Amino acid sequence: MSARGSSPTIVDVAREAGVSIKTVSRVLNHEPGVHESTREQVLKVVEALRYRPKQSARSLAGGRSFLIGLLYYDPSAIFVGSVQQGATLRCRELGYHLVVESLHNDAPDLRQQIDRMVLALRPDGMILTPPLCDNPEVLAALRESGTPCVLMSPERDIRGVPSVRMDDVHAAEELTSLLIKLGHERIAFIKGPPDQSASAARYQGFVSAMRAHGLEPDLELVQPGDFSFASGRDAAQQLLSGPKPPTAVFASNDDMALGVLAAAHRLGLNVPAELSVVGFDDSPTAALVWPPLTTVRQPVAEMARTAVEMLVQGHRAEVPADDADLHKVLAHELIVRDSTRAR
């Protein structure tokens, strides 16, 4: 009876419950205007038969696929785990499913790959993570196909295109204030790559917190970086072997902070006794190194949940949301571990 291909259909349920298939459909889709006793009777049969409507049939007839797409390009795979955790959970609660596609941001046939997915599957919405959410080609392909999108942490918001993000400026301010409260004044900063807006935002937060505490950032202690381990290590090497080394280093992301740790180690500097280090992102590695990194956790899973909700609700919305509701900012979390200490 549970063999492949012989599962019950809506007709079976209708017959068993003594109603029409339309009424079964109404109950399953939570449509109003069904007598309570009828609803209960139908639900009972649905349960007994373990009936589940088939996505392909619903999709073909109703024009909704109950599929949410997730497009990503994440070689380091730091982001994608949490994104999916949040997205699949929320999808499940809402009766949707998540289809993922790993793309190369600079693939020559990117357009066709997206078309293939969109035209074949007709997902009801698409979640885009960096750097794909900032790729004009990707955005154009999706817009032309009429697929609703939500951008996760895009470089900058686009008018009319929903997005969800955290507040990098504010988080950087908090991290900086933490160091200042620990007594640090000579705080070095290692920047991210200039083509990513998070880099500027984090730097801005650093500067503003310094000034709020009456400190002027020493430009000699501000080094460029590119979010890689190596760039963090090299910047720290430079910083720490200078004449007036900093007592704390703010690296714009965890990978660079790990580089700082490596450089300090090589120079025989004890962290956190002689040098405090903070990162940004709360990467899986951040908790595993010695000492564990003080950092900021992006609410990645929550952002993904929110993205799913926006997509599903957007479908139902009569009136398009105004631009303020379109761009959501979620709360981050300061993670204080052992790489920071009072001086």
Handedness of CA 153, 159, 161, 164 (dihedral sign): positive
Q: Does 339 bind DNA (CB under 7 A)?
A: no
Interactions with a copy of itself, residue window 36-95 (CB under 8 A): 50, 52-57, 59-60, 63, 65-67, 74, 76-78, 80-82, 84-85, 88-89, 92
Q: How far is the CB of 77 from a copy of itself (least distance, A)?
A: 3
How remote is the C-alpha of 34 from its chain's centroid? 40
Q: Which residue has the tokens 């999709």?
A: 59
Burial of 214 (0-12, 13-18, 19+ CB in 10 A): exposed
In degrees rounded to 5, what are phi and psi of residue 163? Answer: -150, 160
Size of the site for a copy of itself (CB under 8 A): 61
Give the residue among 87, 142, 160 at the shortest CA–CA distance from 314: 160
Q: Which stretch in 9-17, 149-157, 182-190, 263-271 sits in contact with DNA by CB under 7 A?
A: 9-17
Backbone φ/ψ region at 153: left (φ over 0), alpha (ψ -120 to 50), beta: left
Query: How far is the CA of 46 from the CAs of 50, 54, 225, 229, in angstroms?
Result: 6, 13, 59, 55
Which among DNA, a copy of itself, none contacts residue 85 (Cβ within 5 to 8 A by kind)?
A: a copy of itself
Size of the site for DNA (CB under 7 A): 27
Residue 187, SS3 per DSSP: strand
Kindly tell me which residue out of 32, 108, 136, 146 binds a copy of itself, with binding defined by CB under 8 A.
Answer: 146
Nearer to a copy of itself, 43 or 100 (CB): 100
Compose the 23-52 pattern: x for residues touching DNA by CB under 7 A, - for all others.
Answer: x-xx-xx--xxxx--x------------x-
Q: Does 284 bind a copy of itself (CB under 8 A)?
A: yes
- The footprint of DNA (CB under 7 A) covers 9-11, 19-23, 25-26, 28-29, 32-35, 38, 51, 53-54, 57-58, 60-64
